């Protein structure tokens, strides 16, 4: 009887120790994976020009670097970086640089938001979601987008309860290239 209770105790403590060890190992493995991902994002961000112009379709170089690290973005979307940046990013990611059949493959056409003013209720939700203050309008009045300040991030579209915001694609011409985008200030930046 005494031996059995000792054996039971041994089994319980043994199982507990194994459980705790498993939890610790899984935390360590997760934090190692997280660190590797952070390092990859940092390396990718460092390889980008830092213009924060959002012509890649992401609100800034860090957001693009995160998408690259997550495997959700192609490495040929940074217009200012050009071919050198594409090659560097591909090298970091260990993939082949995409082959460019035409300019569209490298230079993503600019997209900007437009608001269908007749449907706008003036609720101001889009204004609060725009990271660069590119939407103007007062409460209960139709809003509009300042096209030259819109970085095409898409954030306002989902925020609109009236579904009256649409993203339109601008043809990739010199006239449509917004040379001022790198100077646009993001909310909360210095």
SS3 128: helix
Write the interaction track for ligand SF4 spanning residues 8-47; mark x where CB under 6 A is met and - where it is not: ----------------------------------------
- Which is closer to ligand SF4, CB of 12 or CB of 44? 44
46: Cβ contacts below 8 Å, ≥ 6 apart: none
Interaction between residue 68 and ligand SF4 (CB under 6 A):
no
The closest alpha carbon to 124, from 135, 134, 114, 112, belongs to 135
Interaction between residue 48 and ligand SF4 (CB under 6 A):
yes
- Which is closer to ligand SF4, CB of 69 or CB of 120? 120
The site for ligand SF4, by CB under 6 A, has a size of 44
Q: Which stretch binds ligand SF4 (CB under 6 A): 12-20, 25-33, 88-96, 128-136?
A: 128-136
Q: Which residues of 141-177 are buried (b: 16+ CB within 10 A; e: fewer)?
A: eebebebebbbbbebbeeebeeebbeeeeeeeeeeee
Q: Across the strands, what pairs with 165?
A: 115
169: Cβ contacts below 8 Å, ≥ 6 apart: 109, 110, 111
Interaction between residue 162 and ligand SF4 (CB under 6 A):
yes
Interaction between residue 67 and ligand SF4 (CB under 6 A):
no
Interaction between residue 126 and ligand SF4 (CB under 6 A):
yes
How far apart CA 122 and CA 165 sit, in angstroms, is 12
What is the binding site for ligand SF4 (CB under 6 A)? 48-49, 51-56, 58, 60-61, 64, 78-81, 113, 115, 120-126, 129-130, 132, 134-135, 143, 145, 150-156, 159-160, 162, 164-165
């Amino acid at each position: 009887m005494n031996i059995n209770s000792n054996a039971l105790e041994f089994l319980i403590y043994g199982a507990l120790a194994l459980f705790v060890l498993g939890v610790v190992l899984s935390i360590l493995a997760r934090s190692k994976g997280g660190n590797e991902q952070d390092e990859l994002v940092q390396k990718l961000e460092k390889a980008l020009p830092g213009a924060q112009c959002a012509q890649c379709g992401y609100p800034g170089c860090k957001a693009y670097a995160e998408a690259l690290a997550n495997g959700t973005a192609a490495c040929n979307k940074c217009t200012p970086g050009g071919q050198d940046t594409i090659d560097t990013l591909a090298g970091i990611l260990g993939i082949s640089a995409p082959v460019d059949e035409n300019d569209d493959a490298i230079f993503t056409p600019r997209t900007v938001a437009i608001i269908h003013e007749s449907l706008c209720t003036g609720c101001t939700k889009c204004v609060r979601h725009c990271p660069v203050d590119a939407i103007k309008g007062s409460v209960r009045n139709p809003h509009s987008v300042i096209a030259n300040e819109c970085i095409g991030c898409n954030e306002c579209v989902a925020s609109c309860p009236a579904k009256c915001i649409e993203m339109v694609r601008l043809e990739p011409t010199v006239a449509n290239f917004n040379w001022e985008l790198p100077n646009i200030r993001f909310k909360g930046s210095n």
